[in-house]
Amino acid sequence: MKTFLRYIWWGLLAGTAISCSKDPEFETTDVGPVMEKIALDERASMGDIITYEFRLSDPLPLSTLEAELYFDNDLVASRSLRVKTNGTYRDTLSVPFYKEIPDGRATLLVTGRNIRFGETRQSYKVEVVRPDFDHLTFVMEEAEYRMERIAEYEYAVTADFPQKAKGYIETPAFESGRSITFGWDVNQVIAGSTTEIPFSQSNAGEYTISFNTKTFAASPFTKLLFNGEEMTMVDNDNYAVVTMLTQGLEYELSGIPDFLTWDVDCDFFERKDDSRPELLTFLPMSGQYKVTANFKHNYLKIEAMKSATELAVLNGDGSGAVWAIGGTSVGKPSLRNAFDWKPESGGLCLARVGSTRYQLTLVGGISIDTKSVDFKFFHQKTWGGEFGGGKITSTSDLFVAGETDGNIRLATGKTLTAGNIYRFTLDVTPDASDTKLSTAVLSVEEIEGELPAADIRVNGQAMTQTDLDNYSIDLDLVQGEEILFSGADMFDPVWCNPDFFDDVSQTPRLVPVSGKYRITVNRASQIVDALVLKADGSGLATLSDDGHGAIYYIGYGIGSPAAANEPAWTTEKGICIPEYAPQIYKITAQAGQKGSTVPGQRFRVSEWSGKFFKGRNWDGITPMTLAPGTEEFLWINPNGNNLEINPEITLEEGATYELTVDVTNGNNNPIIIFVKK
């Protein structure tokens, strides 16, 4: 209250002062400075600059020298230079590069001003021409290609390109040193951008990329036809068309030569003849649908539509659409495309197979996780109407619907079989007593199947496939032993965990002490990793009372295979650190930004907060002691005793560091050593 009264008091004083003072008078003049042209470009190229130089003099202090460029009566560029004293001033003005504009005479208006708003204006004509370069350069991330001039303003290059040849185009530099770039913006090429243009052909190989610097016409872009109607390019990866589809009729998708290798949502379309994979029979009830060809995942997606621009929603009579939205446990065409709880990008449209029945088919280990499931059915592909607690029941012995939230989860003690098919059917028939849509009944059919396995071997023994991308094998290994990866489908790994494998360019050798290890391979990410197991193979190793086994980091700051994969305070995600030497545990990693997804950048450059544990549990290893020199990088926060980065430093991004936990003095006396390699 005192503060409020004080503001009122000062406001009254200010009002009194204003009312008693005389309105200020601004002195102006109609006379501008004397302005003499010293030099001015009479000819300029679009995309380059106009250079001008003027001598200004005035008995009053000067203010600005301004240049304005007009195409006809349209102002297209301006530049204001701050000036104060009499003298000669030189500056430049950029000439925009527009498409379709012909050569012509532009108007350059130059204005000199003094501090009393006196102005002197002079107008000049400048010939502006569209440059016709002898070549352009097509810049991709991995290479650059010279585009030769084949006609006026027309350029092209023919080479072996991938199916998607994304890059931007750049002109040679003018004498001023400036050059023009052409990039992508909302389905068109624009000047001044380096956003990659998504050139694409129906398949990889030799083809021609062309560009016109006058019309901005560019090619090629994949042309897809669905039942004779051209699909529209939505973004770099997606082409779509909204159309009416009739149950039982056959439709043709043309323009994708390798379409047989694509995933087609089996709830909506059936391929009856592999020799004609482009022919698809529509399965659900007739209606308006959006068909999307996704080149990122080689997937044909179908979604029910309310209109040409609106996705369908569930209506009160049970018609319309039902959507499945959930975590990373479900995704089509595979779990690689799971979008967590992001409805707009990850919502899955169920197929309407009856007037009030909807179907969703998933495959264990491919499109649904076999061990952990958590998703929900919604009335629309956004937050809002949903089948929450009390609104859905399950007749399945594998899946339950949460009583409080309606989420679909695995029943207690249940897991799914990798490769088996799980067909969810949701019946949303309105309650006969009040004809309102109030509850839904879920049934699930399990059909035997098998995963498409690859033959990957370690030391001659076949790895076991755990889901679509992941393989594992448990082996007894000796420190220093060579580990040979082989098999028809083996690859060159992007990253091997250096805590376990010493060299991936040659035959890798085991780094930690002899013992039993679980080696894992992910074919999608091309990452080779490992975990330490108990001697009998019954589970993950823990730190024994005599200081042997494995330890785990839980918290923030360290992740694996990248910083983005940090466990946070989730015990089952603890980072396994192997025993490098008896009672000594070591992790070697590069530093990366928070959230880095670069394999090997496992240490955050800052903001650590975590502890070491004897297992993936809360049995901690404390109190920690920092070895001499380590305090330069790390400190132990007395508020919680967590290990953190020294708040006065930031690790060097891309540099390699080594973290060692030494328990030779006992598990309750760990010494932490941290050095830059």
DSSP string for residues in 596-652: --STT--EESS--EEEEESSSSS-B--S-EEPTTGGGTEEEETTTTEEEE-TT--PP
CA 505/CA 5 separation, integer angstroms: 76
pTM of the entire predicted model? 0.61
Query: What span, in angstroms and rounded, lies between the C-alpha atoms of 423 and 396?
Result: 11
With contact defined as beta carbons under 8 Å apart, do 211 and 146 qualify? no
Measured CA to CA, the distance from residue 441 to residue 439 in angstroms comes to: 7
Spans in the chain with pLDDT lower than 50: 1-24, 434-435
Whether 523 and 531 have beta carbons less than 8 Å apart is answered as: no
pLDDT, residue 18, reads 40
pLDDT at residue 5, as a whole number: 32
pLDDT value of residue 489: 59
Q: What is the pLDDT of residue 674?
A: 97
Distances (CA, A) of 476 to 90, 516, 544, 551: 77, 4, 19, 19
Gyration radius of the chain over CA positions: 34
| C-beta atoms surrounding 24 within 10 Å | 5
What is the CATH topology of the domain spanning 542-677?
A: Immunoglobulin-like (2.60.40)
pLDDT, position 532: 98
Q: Indicate the fold that domain 34-129 takes in CATH.
A: Immunoglobulin-like (2.60.40)
Q: Which CATH class is domain 244-447?
A: mainly beta
Residue-wise pLDDT tens digits, 67-112: 999 999 899 999 999 999 999 999 999 999 999 999 999 999 999 9
Check for a shared fold between 244-447 and 542-677: yes
pLDDT at 273: 86
Q: What is the per-residue pLDDT for 7?
A: 35
CATH topology classification for 453-541:
Immunoglobulin-like (2.60.40)
Q: Per-domain residue ranges for the chain? A: 34-129, 135-219, 244-447, 453-541, 542-677
